Amino acid sequence: MESFDFPFFIEVLVGGLLSGIMYSLVAIGFVLIYKTSGVLNFAQGALLLFAALTFVSLLERGVPFWITFAVTLAIMAVIGILIERTVLRPLVNKPPITLFVATLGLAYVLEGGAQLLWGTQVHGLDLGIDDVPYVVGGVFISTFDLFAAAVAASIVLLLTIVFRYTRIGLAFRAVADDQFAALAIGLKLPVIWAAVWIAAGFVALVAGLLWGARLGVQFSLSLVVLKALPVLVLGGFDSILGAIVGGLLIGASEKLAEVYLGPFFGGGIESWFAYVFALAILLIRPSGLFGQRLVERT
């Protein structure tokens, strides 16, 4: 074997960490919903697709950027409220797995709806960031990846501030802690759930734009949900910190494995590596890295 190429290793590692942040961004949307309503929202990927497709289609029709952003956000808010009304409210107190399958159905509706509405062709999305590699000590780092990381960081910061210092954040945490106690002190669960779904829609929009700029806005965008699931399993479904750390771990290990182990398997191991990695860790720590030490029953 040739000598170990250290700068190359760092480059792969950094690339992996940065793409891991993109995974985290999707995973955070899941965590928001899971924390407050105990639903593993499989439709998060479909929401992301819907948001990105709506955004790009409006933009292509000549609507200015910020207006498009606002309109898409409003649409996502309406969808969030609709989901709460039509899907979650009738299914309240059903077993978690029922809710999960309901979000699977929801994902189908959203994916079909988005493409029926806006068509199935691939849209390019340019956020106006020149993707010139940044050179630090002989290591190439993509500017776009750095930008994405910065956006992800600000979202996390924003969410942390909202959760920690605002009234609605306090209500979120109360509901996450104990739904019955929250109800008993007069918090309105439907309102809070709608708010959380709107927040998840916002995260989906941001993640959708970043992923869309990277991959093109198309159906496969909704498949990033599959990249986020191992991150969630690893980090714990209810921890934003876990989503971040899990995303970084998965992103880095996936890229390193693809580069250094992939050749032994004939490549393409990215499709399953994250799952096997997450499972291996879970067998040691069943509640994930940061999840509550309480394993979900049935």
Partner 1 sequence: MTTASIPLPRPASAIGRVPTWPLPLAVIVFAYAGIPLFASDYLYDAILAPFLALSLAAVGLNILTGYAGQVSLGSAAFMAVGAYAAYNFNLRVEGLPLLASIVFAGLIASAVGVVFGLPSLRLKGFYLAVSTLAAQFFVQWTLTKFSWFSNYNPSGVIDAPALNVFGYVFEGPHGRYLFSLSVVVALTVFAARLVKTQTGRNFIAVRDNETAARISGVPVLHTKLLAFAISSFIIGVAGVLWAFAYLRTVEPHGFNLDRSFQILFIIIIGGLATIRGAFFGAALIVVLPLVLSRAGTFLFGSYFDSGVLDMSQRILVGALIIVFLIAEPDGLAALGNRIARRLRLKSPTN
Q: Which residue stretch of 101-109, 123-131, 143-151, 189-197 sits at the interface with partner 1 (rule: CB under 8 A)?
A: 101-109
Q: Which of 232, 245, 250, 252 binds partner 1 (CB under 8 A)?
A: 232
Report the Cα 138 to chain-centroid distance in Å: 32
Report the Cα 163 to chain-centroid distance in Å: 18
Pick 178 or 270: Cβ nearer partner 1: 270
The distance of closest approach from Cβ of residue 227 to partner 1 in the complex, given in angstroms and rounded to an integer, is: 11
Pick 94 or 164: Cβ nearer partner 1: 94
Nearest CA among 254, 242, 223 for reference residue 285 = 242
Task: Report CA dihedral (230, 235, 241, 243) to the nearest 10 degrees.
Answer: 10
Q: Using alpha carbons only, what angle is made at residue 179 by residues 173 and 184, rounded to the nearest 5 degrees? A: 105
Q: Which of 85, 94, 164, 188 binds partner 1 (CB under 8 A)?
A: 94
Whole-number Å distance between alpha carbons of 102 and 88: 9
Q: Indicate whether 90 belongs to the interface with partner 1 (CB under 8 A).
A: yes
Q: Which helix (H) or strand (E) holds 141?
A: strand 139-142
Query: Per CB under 8 A, which of residues 133..162 are in contact with partner 1?
Result: none
Q: Are 3 and 232 in contact (CB under 8 A)?
A: no
Q: Indicate whether 105 belongs to the interface with partner 1 (CB under 8 A).
A: yes
Whole-number Å distance between alpha carbons of 67 and 87: 29
Q: Which of 1, 93, 116, 186 binds partner 1 (CB under 8 A)?
A: 116
Query: Per CB under 8 A, which of residues 34..73 are in contact with partner 1?
Result: 40
The distance of closest approach from Cβ of residue 247 to partner 1 in the complex, given in angstroms and rounded to an integer, is: 15
The distance of closest approach from Cβ of residue 266 to partner 1 in the complex, given in angstroms and rounded to an integer, is: 5
Three-state DSSP state, 139: strand
Q: Indicate whether 81 belongs to the interface with partner 1 (CB under 8 A).
A: no
Q: Which helix (H) or strand (E) holds 140?
A: strand 139-142
Whole-number Å distance between alpha carbons of 20 and 119: 30
Site residues (CB under 8 A) for partner 1? Answer: 40, 86-87, 90-91, 94, 96-98, 100-102, 104-113, 115-116, 120, 226, 229-230, 232-233, 237, 265-269, 271-272, 275-276, 278-279, 282-283, 286, 295-298
